[in-house]
Amino acid sequence: MPSRINDFAIKLANVNGTGSASANGLIMQAIFRMGVPVSGKNLFPSNIQGLPTWYEIRVNAKGYTARALDYDLIVAMNSQTYKKDVAEVRDGGFLLYDSSWPLDDELIRDDIHYIGVPLARMCNEAFGAPRERILMKNIATAGALIELLNIDAAVVEQLLEEKYGKKKAMRESNKKALKLGADYIKANFTYPLEFHLKTMNANDDKILIDGNTATALGCVYGGATVAAWYPITPATSVMDGFKEFCEQYRKDPETGVNNFAILQAEDELAAIGMVIGASWNGARAFTSTAGPGVSLMNELLGLAYYAEIPAVVVDVQRVGPSTGMPTRTQQGDLFECAYASHGDTKHILLIPANPNECFQFAPKCFDLAERFQTPVFLMSDLDIGMNDWVTPKFTWDDSYTPDRGKVLTAEQLESLDKFYRYLPTDGTAVAARTLPGIHSKGSFFTRGSGHDKYGVYTETPDLYAEVMDRLLLKHKEAAGWVPAPIIEKREGAKVGMITIGGCDPAVREALDMLADMGRPMDYMRIRAFPFHADVEEFLATHDYCYVVEQNRDGQLCSMLTLETPVSKDKIKPILIYSGFPLSAKHVIDAVTARLEELNAIYR
Amino acid sequence: MPSIVKPLVTHPSLVRNELGLTIRDYEGSMSTLCAGCGHDSITAAIIRALWELSVEPCMLAKLSGIGCSSKTPTYFVGGAHGFNSAHGRMPAIATGANAANRTLTYLGVSGDGDSLSIGIGHLSHAIRRNLNMLYVLENNGVYGLTKGQFSASSDVGSKSKKGEANKMSPIDPVQLALTLGATFVARSFSGDKAQLVPILKAGLAHRGFALVDVISPCVTFNDHEGSTKSYKYTRGKHHIATESDFVPHANEIVGEIGPVGATTIQMHDGSSLRFTKVPEGYDVTDRMAAMEYLRAHQGEVVTGVLFADESVPEMHEMNNTPAEPLGSLPFSKLCPGSGALAELMADFR
């Protein structure tokens, strides 16, 4: 095997709750600081302590950072999963294991290399407290990896300095453990391995951040003042982040008051109720949740849709249905959110692909919610939300002013003969609204029951339908305001490949591989519902389109056929929905499974 | 009788409040409830209380859920914003609304189905948050809009119109609120406006969540022989535990305290709740005393302000939010800007 610099994948198999996350994060961050394109995927269980958890790191100088699925090195620190982990090492790859105990015969493969490091023994000898022994075993492993992968030790030292700063004892323990692992490798093995790291400068304008933190920051920048939520994996860290940023940026420097309110609700029914109440009263308000939470919110989402009240819902999607697999990723809530609630409803969805878009789209959600007086969903997912992504530094345009939509002022109301809540007067499908406490002439009785365009209770068929027709028109109008899809065309392309959200890196990598195979394809990543005009245009100009998405039923495929004129036989679903982030390999496998069709097109 | 339209002309002799408004200015549209409905009497008491307190109509937010009671906010203060939300969810909507703008007066109207069944969780947690609002629970022990099912406040043995007896134990909103730590708990009867109006006023002035349970007979589905929420039964079992009056300005009551058991509670906004009758040994600021009194008078409809505590911070005080509405803070106070972002980016390296 030739030497491979900055192109490899490793997988660390750990026991949940043993402090492995901090050691894994240290390695990931060190590689990032070395300026090398990298990604880390945390494949963790729904558990606090004891169950298996894996962390994958992929390094790729060209910037391909979707999951690799071929592991050059597996660090097997969990005896529960030993057998499976050994089996996953690629031919000729390496297994790093704790040689404090001998390996069973059944774990021996003759086509891989074994690196035994007596981690437990060394840590037991070096550290006293039982908990410290366990934690430091992970750090000692990181020490071994520093040497095996040629991670810059100075960078690691700097990171420990930043992390533990004043906690001298912690810093010294970490240093000691790192040295144990590193020294053992130096004394007993050839290092670095044939695949290893070399400093680059690909990350100068980048940051390492998870999507939930980015969403939280976007909500602060977008001017959200009321946040209501109920704890749920994987959305909890959105609100943790929002609180942290509010503490940092929203405490009034003069008075010390909080220019925000975070309400931990009794359930998701209440969380969305609070958002609707606050929005009704003129605040930018949002909730963060996952699929099960959206299920509970369905009732009031219909109220917000019909009574035309803004609401922003961050849905960090996880594997459903039911409790499903709460710590695994999926794009399974498209239907649930696009058509949430009873009766005829349609909502606006923004679908980010990475933390940078989470940050950009969050303020956009508030703009759209207030402009169109309707619920707007930010469709993140666990992979985007909870994994650290290398993403361009966020920037902010100080000339941004929030689009608060049509809200009548006291002066405007004063000059009106009479205010009619649901009667647009400017040729658009959106009528002006009024806020409580402004003027008695704007007073209005908001209700979820049947109403006519004047806002008066009705059960008259035509009057009811008139309002419903306008709501549909409003949704159509929104198509001109949502983010356009990202479209990338290739010379000689005869096929389109469409995807959404966090599938982006895997699909792009697959497209490059397909181009190398003489099968160039055009790319479209849809970023919103209702579908932008460019989406229809792309569909109209491609006779054969793969649609890559992470759910069983091809929800995006169905929405495309429902909401655009595209004929169903043009759409070729590629559905990967088992819960782990997508790999280019998944896409290539699915495409090659239909090779004959493809060859016929490119003949 | 909704076919009748209210007269538009206001009689010149009508008394005006501090804002120069007559009681007609606090009315809403015509009630569509059954003639004789207890809820309409409560609406009249609400109108009276708001007029007497000179609440500016556009500074009132009226909220409700679903049910007969929840229809009533349309019947008072037409100049106020209202929100007839979803079944049981009013406390959640009110929480968000209040969080966004603390300068309004919040009045929620709910019923026993809305509050004690589908929305009991939301009610409970609004109490825990000490949300600053008056919550009027129009309690008739029956589902009216769906035609006569028992509600969670139906007493054991109380008979439905069809003669069926309820077997499950009732939820008493007053006892529920007391155990949850509510800071103002009262009960009244729709047929006793003299008692109800000052209670509503005190509830509006209260710092935090004021629960007023109002027994309100349903003339159509729960006013028959064998019902324990009928006019006849309530009148017969009505036990006025405390008598109180609401005094808007504290300085007006100097030297007024008189009879045995009388006491005054200073309201947070400077007004006072003056009790002219409190049972001997009963302290309206003692939660356990209130509960014990209720236990000792089981089988009776105990009314009056039963507990009040002005010392507990309401939601905004707990959250340390500014005096002005969060919803109208200038964007410059909310968005940290590009400079702060550039600086923050260093934390993610």
The string of pLDDT tens digits covering residues A371-411 is 999 999 999 999 999 999 999 999 999 999 999 999 999 99
- Tell me what pLDDT residue B257 has: 42
Q: Where are the domains of chain A?
A: 4-196, 209-392, 410-478, 486-602
Instruction: Tell which residue, A74, A94, A56, A64, has the closest CA to residue A193.
Output: A94
Q: What is the DSSP letter of A70?
A: -
Tell me which residue in B97, B340, B348 faces A207 most closely, judged by beta carbons. B348
Q: Which 35-64 residues of chain B touch chain A by CB within 8 A?
A: 57-59, 61, 63
Residue B258 pLDDT: 45
Look at residue A292 in the predicted model and tell me its pLDDT. 98
Confidence of residue B250 (pLDDT cuts 50, 70, 90): low
Give chain A's radius of gyration (CA, Å).
Answer: 27
Report CB contact under 8 Å: B326, A250: no
Domains of chain B by start residue, with CATH? 23-332 (3.40.50.970)
Query: How many helices and strands (H and E) does chain B possess?
Result: 12, 13
- Inform me whether the pLDDT recorded for A504 exceeds 90: yes
| Confidence check: pLDDT of A195 > 60 | yes
Q: pLDDT above 70 covers what percent of chain A?
A: 100
Q: What percent of chain A has pLDDT over 90?
A: 95
CA nearest to A48, candidates A72, A17, A19: A17
Cross-chain residue pair A282–B101, CB shorter than 8 Å: yes
Q: Would you call B124 an interface residue with chain A, using a CB distance cutoff of 8 Å?
A: yes
Question: In DSSP terms, which residues pair with A39 in a beta bridge?
Answer: A58
Task: Note the CATH architecture for domain A209-392.
Answer: 3-Layer(aba) Sandwich (3.40)
What is the predicted ipTM?
0.95
CA distance A224 to chain B (A): 8
**What pTM does this model have?**
0.96
Query: Chain B closest CA to A160's CA: distance in Å?
Result: 14
Token output for B320: 């340390």
**What is the arithmetic mean of pLDDT over B144-166?**
91
B162/B97: higher pLDDT: B97
User: A420-448: per-residue pLDDT in tens?
Assistant: 999 999 999 999 999 999 999 999 999 99
pLDDT of residue B255: 40
Q: Would A4-196 and A486-602 be classified into the same CATH topology?
A: no
User: Which pLDDT belongs to residue B254?
Assistant: 43
Out of B86, B341, B344, the one facing A448 most closely (by C-beta) is: B86
* Cβ-defined contact of A283 to B100 (cutoff 8 Å): yes
With an 8 Å Cβ cutoff, are A267 and B81 in contact? no
Mean pLDDT across chain A, nearest whole number? 96
pLDDT on residue A295: 98
Nearest to B95 by CA among A281, A245, A102: A281
Binding-face residues of A in 39-68 toward B, CB within 8 A:
none
**Region B11-32 average pLDDT:** 93
Q: Quick check: B256 pLDDT over 50? A: no
Token pair of A127, please?
């550290």
What's the CATH fold of domain A4-196?
Answer: Pyruvate-ferredoxin Oxidoreductase; domain 3 (3.40.920)
Quickly state the pLDDT bin for B262 (edges 50, 70, 90).
low
**Residue A40: C-alpha distances to residues A25, A68, A440, B93, B130 (Å):** 8, 11, 56, 40, 44
Burial (CB count <10 Å: 0-12, 13-18, 19+), residue A429: middle
- Partner residue opposite B340 with nearest CB, options A249, A262, A447: A249
Question: Which pLDDT tens digit goes with each residue over B59-84?
Answer: 999 999 999 999 999 999 999 999 99
What's residue B276's pLDDT? 84
Q: Which class does domain A486-602 fall in?
A: alpha beta
Radius of gyration of chain B (CA): 21
Q: For chains A and B, count residue pairs whose Cβ atoms are closer than 8 Å.
A: 225
In degrees rounded to 5, what are phi and psi of residue A490?
A: -125, 145
The answer to whether residue B234 scores a pLDDT higher than 70 is yes
Query: What tokens does B285 get?
Result: 């600021």
